[in-house]
Amino acid sequence: MHTISKAAHILNISEFKLFSEAYLAWFGDRADDEDLTILFSQFIMFGELPEWADQFARSILDDLEANRQVNLNSFSILNLSPRVGKRPEISFSILR
């Protein structure tokens, strides 16, 4: 919980916005506001922190510790067009 608060403070954004940016960085798409609100509520009430949010916050703190410039644009994909239609199914093949 401390990593989220500290990273949000460094970027000068709310913890909710940090969750939103963490979701975008991890999954490559914006989360539904309702789903993100539920996840954030669980974080606030019970301290349940999704791995993707924790990793995102830790990467910000690691960059700060390494004296790298830290700003929100470094950690997100800007100007994404909204997804239209269903997401394509992910598949793979194993070649021998």
Are the C-beta atoms of 76 and 22 separated by less than 8 Å? no
Interval 43-77: pLDDT, tens: 999 888 899 999 999 988 887 777 665 555 555 54
> Residue 15: its pLDDT value, please?
93
Sorted by where each begins, the domain ranges of the chain are 2-75
- CA dist., res. 78 & res. 83, Å (int): 14
- CA dist., res. 57 & res. 89, Å (int): 29
Quick check: 79 pLDDT over 70?
no
Per-residue burial over 56-84, b = 16 or more CB atoms within 10 Å of its CB, e = otherwise: bbebbeebeeeeeebeeeebeeeeeeeee
Interval 3-51: pLDDT, tens: 899 989 988 899 999 999 999 888 888 888 888 999 999 999 988 889 9
Model pTM? 0.67
